Amino acid sequence: MITIVSGTNRPESNTLKVAKYYQEAFLGKGQEANILNLTDLPSALITSDLYGKRSPEFQKMQDQVTATTKFVFIIPEYNGSFPGVLKTFIDACSFPESFYDKKACLVGISSGKYGNIRGIDHFGGVCSYLHLHVLPLRLHIPAIKTELDESGAFYKEDTLKFTGQQIDKFIAY
């Protein structure tokens, strides 16, 4: 099963729009993918689900992680890296079995110029530690506000080309 992790809990994020775009694009290639939206994290996560604790609310997300073999992470740039809530989510998941020897595809987005190059590098380090195998083609999409149309979809020719290529490679990975 493929799961697309929308890597922030910010309401109305561009990250979720990109996650939905990827979900549709996978479907267009005959591949179902679910979204795991970090806005669904328990609001008490840091007291209810870390260091051996587990709430029924988070257990549902853990079950989705456990059933997943391939993860697509859509990761916004927050203060030059990936969001802290994404790391807290990873820390709350069962270790090591949640991600061990599974596969990941990384997409960085930002409102600035760099498309979260550093955050994707930082997150790649976490993936290495987890033995989560990352598709070599990582995408960095800067100036995200200029990339999405009114329906929240990519429309620029090169973005369609590179996201399509990444999805094809990840299906085959």
Ligand X SMILES: Cc1cc2nc3c(=O)[nH]c(=O)nc-3n(C[C@H](O)[C@H](O)[C@H](O)COP(=O)(O)O)c2cc1C
Reference 160, options 145, 143, 141, 173; nearest CA is 141
Cis check: omega of the bond before 142, within 30 degrees of 0:
no
Encoded amino acid at 23, one letter:
Q
8 A C-beta contact, residue 44 and residue 55: yes
Residue nearer to ligand X on the CB measure, 110 or 166: 110
Beta strands in 69-150 (DSSP E): 70-76, 103-109, 133-134, 139-141
Of 3 and 14, the one with the shorter C-beta distance to ligand X is: 14
Judged by beta carbon, residue 18 or residue 102, the one nearer ligand X is 18
Q: Which is nearest to 4 in space by CA: 164, 24, 122?
A: 24
Using alpha carbons only, give the angle 116, 37, 59 rounded to the nearest 5 degrees.
125
- Please state the closest distance from residue 114 (CB atom) to ligand X, in A: 7
Q: Please, what is the minimum distance in Å from the beta carbon of residue 145 to ligand X?
A: 7
Q: Between 99 and 119, name the residue whose CB sits nearer to ligand X.
A: 119
Q: Which residue is nearest to ligand X (CB)?
A: 112
The distance of closest approach from Cβ of residue 106 to ligand X in the complex, given in angstroms and rounded to an integer, is 15
Binding site for ligand X (CB under 6 A): 8, 10, 13-15, 76-80, 109-112, 144
Min. distance of Cβ 100 from ligand X in angstroms?
28
